[in-house]
Structure 1
């Protein structure tokens, strides 16, 4: 069974590398392409927040790193990587709109976002300790230990699954906001869609990997 575990790990690693490569390639292409409106990611984020009456509630900040963009619901801050914050690229426009999409979810109490926040503490413990306990359970033939690992890891899997609608909805909101505010042309919209689709696939790959391991652990517990 451990051989199967390592084989799954190899498949998961290759899949993850492929998806990450696709994301970086797509992002790299469109980060070099100026958007037609000539506006930076920071300006895009600010415009969407203002249009939705959130400019006084949500801040936009720059953060170091590459593809480190995120929305912090606890502090109500949209953080954009330096390139996306400063440069008027198609990719920066798309990423900024997507992160503000999460702020819009937060403002409207979007249910899956609330569920994900509720599951997060369990998921953090489960992703760290679940696989470790499950593997030790398999190695030692300790069914009880394996079961504990499975239940902990299941919390991480639930988090990954809830993340999917959250991310897809944020992208949907991003496209709608860019179009409604007249910030994007048809050509830019295609590039923005390509960037956000590639980013979404990283979450799909993570969820698929988590499910694959959970199924493996469950099968191991029945032997």
Structure 2
């Protein structure tokens, strides 16, 4: 098949990944925006909910901090700190309680030794290094005349990028489980009414889709690398 000069057909895989991520991000932003305008029946803030959930789970050593930004919420297992963003900390919306409870879910995972979370944490440094060094190794491999050396560097690059992909995949059960814990706690404790839990589920489902999109995009990029290096690796 003939392709125009400088056109790389494997870019289609990258574009598909970008589109998937953009759609997931737009869905997340629109869903959060919608339910951030729905006040929960008790008037409880995200910070109040987080504190109550943590204490209910016996976690009195987890600090709750306010962090600037929108949807920058996260739990830091290194310092046992739960950070809630502007849109969550003082908000009384059902969306805010859902996000706060989700992050509490990560704190509970950490406290109970949830295996996928431990695996993801151990992959962070190698995944970051792998994603940064993968392409330099692959490109360097194409400059060697020796096919053995060339294949070695290319395979090292593929292995490095595969670690980053593995991190994205391992992240999925961690995020799904945190959301499941959040919805269960919010419903069982009566913090949210049944209809409010349904609204919160929509927010957390939309958030989960962004992680699915990220994993899909990473897999497509890995497939592109395998296609680009296929001939050299088979020499």
Which category of TM-score, normalised to the shorter sequence, fits these structures? over 0.9
Aligned to 1:201: 209
Aligned to 1:115: 119
CA distance in 2, matches of 1:174, 1:2: 47
Aligned to 2:70: 66
CA distance in 1, matches of 2:160, 2:24: 27
CA contact (8 A) 1:46 1:60 kept: yes
More helix by share: 1
Aligned to 1:52: 57
5+ residue gaps, structure 1: none
CA contact (8 A) 1:157 1:211 kept: yes
Larger deviation, residues 27-36 vs 129-138: 129-138
Aligned to 1:143: 151
**Aligned CA distance change for structure 1 residues 140 and 91 (closer, same or farther; 3 Å):** farther
CA distance in 2, matches of 1:2, 1:149: 23
Please show how residues 14-53 of structure 1 align to structure 2 within 5 Å.
Answer: 14-53=19-58
SS at match of 1:94: helix
Tell me how far 1:140 sits from its aligned partner: 8.0
Aligned to 2:88: 84
CA contact (8 A) 2:18 2:217 kept: no
5+ residue gaps, structure 2: 1-5
SS at match of 1:61: strand
TM norm structure 2: 0.89
Tell me how far 1:67 sits from its aligned partner: 0.6
* Structure 1 residue 106 corresponds to structure 2 residue 114: no
Q: 1:191 aligns with which of 192, 199, 208?
A: 199
Aligned to 2:177: 169
The structure whose Rg is larger is 2
The Cα RMSD (Å) is 1.9
Aligned length: 222
CA distance in 2, matches of 1:97, 1:205: 22
CA distance in 1, matches of 2:169, 2:38: 33
